[in-house]
DNA sequence: TTCATAACGTTATGTTATATCATTATCGAA
DNA sequence: TTCGATAATGATATAACATAACGTTATGAA
C-alpha cells in the first residue's frame, strides 16, 4: 500500500496492493468520524470507497453513475452531499483544476478538520499525489506574512508528467 | 495605476486610476500580439477590456451578458473562444478555484507564451492579485526536482482576507 | 413516546463549458 | 484581381458540473 512517507517518489506504486489502500482509508475514516461524533453512514462510506477506486481524481458524475449502477435511481444531490461531508471531514479533497475528487491519504493529521492539500497531477497516467513540503509551506507562510494576507484556503495543484511517464 | 513592483502591498490600490490599468493592458496586448503576429481582433480586444473591468475575477457568463447588452445575440462559444485566445497569449488567467478570469498584469515577461501565475484572492472584497515570489518558485522547483516531476502547469491560488479587509 | 434534528429522496433548475457545422473575414499566391 | 487556404466568428444544440427547494425517513435524546 501507499504510505505517508513516500514523498520522495510518490508516483512509484505500480501494481501495489490497492485493496489495502482502500481498507486503510475506510478504517481510518471510521475511526476519525467515531472520534468526532460524526456519522459515516453506509452511503457516505460507499462514496468514499468509490472515490478510492484508484489514485486518480474521480468526477462527481462518475460516482453518480457507479451508484446508479448498483442502486437504481440516484440523483446528483445524493452524491454532492456525501462528497461535501467527506471534504468537510478532510477525508476527500476536491481538485479545482480538474473539477474532481480524490481520497486523502493523510486524514486527521491536523486536529479535527480538513487540512491544506497540495497535489502533483500527472497528465499522462492521471495519478494525483498529495504532497507535503515544508519549504513550500514556509514560502507560502512568508508570502502571506509579507503581504498581510490571512490565508483561509489553499489551492495548489501542479500538473505535468510524473517520472514514470516522461520516458 | 498598478505597477508590477507592488508586491509588498498588492491590495493597496483603493481609488486608483483604473482607466490607466485598462489602457496599459490594452496597449500592452496590442504590442505583444503585433510582435507575435497574432490577431487581437475587435472582439478579442473588447473581451480583454471587459475582463479588465476591475481587479476581481470575472465569470465567462458575466462577459457574455455584457457583450449581449451591447451587441444583441451573442453565444457562449464566442466568449470562450476569445478567452481561450487571451489565455493562450498570457493576457488573461483563469482562476480554477473560482471558475473565473482575470487580466494579467505582467504579460509578455516570459518570452513568447503564458507564464505560471500565483494569486492571492480576497474573499471579502473580491480582489485577486497576481504575485511573484522567488521563494515560492524555488520551493516548487525543488519539489519537482526531488520527485522527478516535470511541471507543465501550475494552479496556485490562496484565498483569504487581504490586509484591508481584516479589520 | 415524542420531539428535534440530521440524512436522504426527489424534482427542478442553475451554472459553466464544448461539439458541430455554417458563414464571413483575411491574406498570400497565382 | 481572383482564387484558395486558413483563421475567426455566428449559430444551434448539448454536455458536464452543481445547487435550490421541499418532502420523507432515520436517528437519538428528552
Ligand atoms: Zn492504492
Ligand atoms: Zn504519470
Ligand atoms: Zn486598476
Ligand atoms: Zn479584501
Distance from the CA of B49 to the center of ligand 3, in angstroms? Answer: 12
Question: What's the per-residue H, E or C state across B139-164?
Answer: HHHHHHHHHCCEEEEEEEEEEEECHH
Distance from residue B154 (CA) to nucleotide D2 (C1'), in Å? 49
Own/partner contacts of A38-45, CB < 8 Å, gap of 24 or more, are: A38/A85, A38/A89, A43/A78, A43/A82, A44/A82, A44/A85, A44/A86
Nearest protein residue to D27's C1' (by CA)?
A39
The C-alpha atoms of residue B18 and residue B34 are separated, in whole angstroms, by 24
Which nucleotide lies at the shortest CA–C1' distance from B74? D10
- Indicate whether A10 pLDDT > 80: no
Q: Which of A148, A156, A160 sits opposite B149 (nearest CB)?
A: A160
Going by C-alpha positions, the residue among B17, B91, B16, B90 that lies closest to residue B51 is B91
- Positive or negative, the CA dihedral A28, A30, A33, A35 is negative
- Positive or negative, the CA dihedral B96, B53, B121, A79 is negative
| Interface residue B65 vs chain A (CB under 8 A) | no
Calculate how close chain B gets to A101, using CA atoms only, in Å. Answer: 14
| Grid coordinates belonging to B159 | 484565498
Strand positions, DSSP E, chain A = 92-95, 100-103, 118-122, 128-131, 150-161
Vertex B11 angle, CA B8 and B14, to 5°: 130
Chain A / chain B CB contacts < 8 angstroms: 133
- Per residue in B73-119, pLDDT (tens digit) is 999 999 999 999 999 999 999 999 999 999 998 887 666 566 889 99
CA B147 to chain centre: 29
- Indicate whether A73 pLDDT > 90: yes
Which residues in chain B have their CB less than 8 angstroms from residue A124's CB?
A: none
Cβ neighbours, 10 Å, residue A111: 8
**Residues in a beta bridge with B124:** none
- Per residue in A85-109, pLDDT (tens digit) is 999 999 999 999 999 999 999 887 6
Angle between helices B134-147 and A134-147 (to 10 degrees): 170
Q: Which of B10, B148, B155 sits opposite A97 (nearest CB)?
A: B155
Pairing of strands B118-122, B150-161: parallel
Please list, residue by residue across B67-89, b when 16 or more beta carbons sit within 10 angstroms of its beta carbon and e when fewer do.
beeeeeebeeebbeebbebbeeb
The residue in chain B having the minimum alpha-carbon distance to the alpha carbon of residue A11 is: B147
Task: Give Cβ neighbours of residue B21 (< 8 Å, ≥ 6 apart).
Answer: B1, B2, B52, B55
- Per residue in B126-135, pLDDT (tens digit) is 999 999 999 9
Which nucleotide lies at the shortest CA–C1' distance from A59? D17
Positions in chain D where some atom is under 7 Å from a protein CB: 7-14, 16-21, 28
The owner of cell 509551506 is A137
Calculate how close chain A gets to B69, using CA atoms only, in Å. Answer: 30
| Interface residue A12 vs chain B (CB under 8 A) | no
- Per residue in B23-77, pLDDT (tens digit) is 999 999 999 999 999 999 999 999 999 999 999 999 999 999 999 999 999 999 9
The model carries a pTM of 0.92
| Grid coordinates belonging to B16 | 486608483
Cβ neighbours, 10 Å, residue A14: 8
Domains within chain B, CATH numbers bracketed: 16-166 (1.10.10.10)
Put simply, the answer to whether B161 touches A155 (Cβ < 8 Å) is no
Q: Which ligand lies nearest to the CA atom of residue A15 in the structure?
A: 1
The C-alpha atoms of residue B83 and residue B60 are separated, in whole angstroms, by 8
- Positive or negative, the CA dihedral B66, B71, B75, B76 is negative
Amino acid at each position: 500500500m501507499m504510505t505517508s512517507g513516500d514523498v520522495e517518489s510518490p508516483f512509484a506504486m505500480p501494481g501495489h496492493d490497492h485493496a489495502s489502500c482502500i481498507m486503510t482509508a475506510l478504517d481510518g475514516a471510521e475511526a476519525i468520524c467515531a472520534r468526532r461524533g460524526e456519522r459515516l453512514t453506509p452511503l457516505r462510506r460507499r462514496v468514499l470507497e468509490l472515490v478510492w477506486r484508484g489514485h486518480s481524481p474521480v468526477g462527481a458524475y462518475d460516482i453518480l453513475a457507479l451508484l446508479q449502477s448498483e442502486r437504481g435511481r440516484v440523483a446528483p444531490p445524493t452524491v454532492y452531499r456525501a462528497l461535501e461531508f467527506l471534504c468537510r471531514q478532510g477525508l476527500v479533497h476536491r481538485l479545482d483544476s480538474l473539477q474532481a475528487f480524490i481520497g486523502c491519504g493523510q486524514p486527521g493529521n491536523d486536529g479535527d478538520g480538513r487540512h491544506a492539500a497540495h497535489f502533483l497531477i500527472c497528465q499522462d497516467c492521471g495519478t494525483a499525489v498529495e504532497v507535503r513540503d515544508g519549504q513550500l509551506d514556509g514560502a507560502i507562510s512568508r508570502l502571506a506574512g509579507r503581504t498581510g494576507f490571512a490565508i483561509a484556503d489553499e489551492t495548489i495543484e501542479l500538473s505535468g508528467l510524473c517520472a514514470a511517464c516522461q520516458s
